[in-house]
């Protein structure tokens, strides 16, 4: 699992330093940056649904860093919030983005949500960490691409 970089799940939790601190701090910073970006997204688009989805994504990422894998139930709730809202944000962003990038965001969101909600089907083949990567990586790629897309817009739109 990706969060094992911060701490493994109970009952035999292992915390390895300095990687645990680095991972947890990076998740906290990521969550804060997403929340800050959500404010600017609201100013740009005024779309309340997008703001809620991105805000929940930021809160979830922040929660993953604040509550490492050995803290239950807060960590699993934060991770589920991150994955669900991230996938939904990618799908919903289809409404905010021009062609052709809108189709890529839709695909990334669908892939993430598909693996999130069908993870048991692929668990034997990919393992828990492999399935989790199929959920997380599309969200990360979406966030990078979406940030680049917004950065590249002309100032007349912002």
Residue 122 inside a domain? The answer is yes
pTM over 0.85: yes
Averages of pLDDT over runs of 10 residues in the chain (158 residues) are 71 78 95 97 93 98 94 95 99 94 98 97 93 97 96 70
pLDDT for res 61: 98
Residue 158 inside a domain? The answer is no
pLDDT for res 35: 98
Residue 113 inside a domain? The answer is yes
Residue 103 inside a domain? The answer is yes
The pLDDT tens digits for 73-102 are 999 999 999 999 999 999 999 999 999 999
Residue 157 inside a domain? The answer is no
User: Whole domain around residue 70: which residue ranges?
Assistant: 2-152
- 6-15 contacts, C-beta under 8 A, 24 or more apart: 6/64, 6/65, 6/68, 6/69, 7/68, 7/69, 7/70, 7/71, 8/69, 8/70, 9/69, 9/70, 9/72, 10/70, 10/72, 13/69, 13/70, 15/68, 15/70
Residue 35 inside a domain? The answer is yes
pLDDT for res 15: 78
């Amino acid at each position: 699992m990706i969060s094992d970089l911060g701490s493994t799940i109970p009952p035999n939790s292992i915390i390895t330093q300095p990687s645990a601190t680095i991972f947890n701090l990076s998740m906290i910073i990521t969550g804060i940056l997403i929340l800050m970006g959500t404010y600017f997204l609201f100013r740009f688009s005024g779309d309340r649904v997008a703001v809620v989805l991105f805000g929940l994504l930021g809160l979830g990422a922040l929660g993953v860093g604040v509550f490492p894998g050995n803290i239950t139930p807060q960590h699993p709730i934060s991770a589920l919030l991150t994955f669900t809202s991230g996938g939904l944000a990618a799908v919903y962003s289809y409404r905010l983005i021009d062609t052709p990038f809108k189709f890529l965001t839709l695909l990334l969101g669908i892939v993430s949500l598909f693996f999130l909600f069908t993870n048991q089907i692929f668990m034997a083949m990919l393992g828990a960490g492999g399935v989790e990567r199929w959920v997380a990586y599309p969200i990360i790629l979406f966030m990078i691409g979406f940030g680049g897309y917004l950065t590249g817009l002309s100032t007349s739109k912002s």
